[in-house]
Each structure stands twice: as structure tokens, then as C-alpha cells.
Amino acid sequence: MKPKLWFTSDTHFGHGNIIIHCDRPFMDVGDRALCRKYVTAKQTLPPVLKERIEAAVHYIDDTMIKNWNSVVAPEDDVWHIGDFSLSRKTVAGDYLPKLNGRLHLVRGNHDGESTWAHHQWAFSEHYAERGTQGTNLVMSHYAMRHWNGSFGDKGSIQLHGHSHGQMSPLKNQCDVGVDVWDFRPVSLQSILERVILTNSLTQGGNLIQIAKAAAVSVYSPKRWPDPIDKGVSA
């Protein structure tokens, strides 16, 4: 069977605060809201919330690994477009061996040397271009205003992360982050279908329509069940 091509970004393995900042549904809603109050007030989280964040990190990490390996075969190619994990020395080494595929990294702002220099990456740079199926893919952790081949109908698509589904796409642009794609890698075919949808909306310049489509169909990941423990009273 011919190897498949997959894309993802912003997994943030081992990163507890990302669950709060991006409101990832792997922790009780009440606990997330209470954590945000403490963070906004620059107050230290109580021990019970720290424990629940740690439990949520294990929950989301295990879920993303299972999701990844459920679609990616060992012979497939996966392009991770930045923010694989935190920069602590052990994190990348703890997670990379658990993931299927031949792995390529386009580095993000959270990818320290202990991540980007890991031997399991077949590629590790800040920018990449790849031609496949008549499409030129321009990959950068950050969304661009213009990129190689972005003018005219040259079939060039920019893939990015970093925005965690909080930014409306330009024509021929796609956020491949896990917050957008149900916390799993996405295939090229699904990306092309998404680009066709967003292009049809951006042609008229109707930003309200684009935002509504994003909220309803594009940036609404499936709700994962909350952990058994329920919220802490404020």
C-alpha cells in the first residue's frame, strides 16, 4: 500500500496550561473556568486544581497518541507544523517513540533544541515546501499574508498552526492544528476539501459568513467526555 501523507500542529504534549488557554475539552468545564480566574488574577493555583491539570495532561496526551496511531500507519509521512511539546528535555523523547509514521518537523515557537534536534525527525527546519498531487504546500508554523505561489491560480496552499483555530483563513490557507481537526492528524484530501469550502466563502469577502462557517463546521472539534471528577467550587 502506498504511504499516506498527514499533517498536524500544536499538539503541545506535556503542556498543562494549553488546556486552559485554548479551552481544550479534556478537563471539567468548571475547573477550566476556575483555573482561568486564577491565571487572570496572577494567583497561584490551589493544589487540587494543579492535580486536575496534571490528570488532564495525561488524558489529552493519551487521547492524541491513540488518535494519531489510529489513522497514521508506520510507513506514512507526517508533517508536524510546530509546537510539538514543551521544551523540557525529556518531553520529545517521551512522546516521539510512541507515534507512528516517518516524522517531519516545521519548528514552532515552543520547539526548543531538545525537541527539534531529536534524532527521530527525518526533517527539522523553520520552513518547508513540498509538491504533491499537483499542489505546492508551503509550510510555516505561522500564518502568512503572502507565500510562494499565493498569487493567481498556481495551486499553492499555505499550511500553518499557532492560531489554534482562532483566525479566519485567507484563500488557499489552512490551519492544521489539533484544535481544528479533532485532536488528530489530517489528510491532504481533507485539507483540500476544507480549502475549497473556505475559498468559496472568502471570494465574496463576507467575513461574517466566514466566521459563522468557522464556528459551526470548521473549528468545532468533537466534545470529548469530561473526566469523572467534577468542578471545584469557586
pLDDT of residue 200: 81
pLDDT digits (tens, 9 = 90+) for 184-201: 999 999 999 999 888 887
pLDDT of residue 173: 94
| Residue 39 clears pLDDT 70, i.e. is over it | yes
The distance in angstroms from the start CA to the end CA of the chain is 54
| Residue 218 clears pLDDT 80, i.e. is over it | no
The whole-number average pLDDT for the span 55-79 is 95
pLDDT of residue 229: 39
Radius of gyration of the chain (CA): 18
* Domains of the chain from N-terminus onward: 5-218 (3.60.21.10)
| Residue 213 clears pLDDT 70, i.e. is over it | no
Which of residues 190 and 29 earns the better pLDDT score?
A: 190
Q: Contacts for 176-181 with beta carbons within 8 Å, 24 or more apart?
A: 176/7, 176/8, 176/9, 176/81, 177/8, 177/9, 177/10, 177/81, 178/8, 178/9, 178/10, 178/11, 178/64, 179/10, 179/22, 179/24, 179/219, 179/221, 180/218, 180/219, 180/221, 181/8, 181/221
The whole-number average pLDDT for the span 111-136 is 93
- Average pLDDT across the chain, whole number: 84
| Residue 214 clears pLDDT 90, i.e. is over it | no
Cα angle: 221, vertex 226, 230; to 5 degrees: 145
Does the pTM surpass 0.95? The reply is no
| Residue 162 clears pLDDT 90, i.e. is over it | yes
pLDDT digits (tens, 9 = 90+) for 74-108: 999 999 999 999 756 667 889 999 999 999 999 99
pLDDT of residue 206: 52
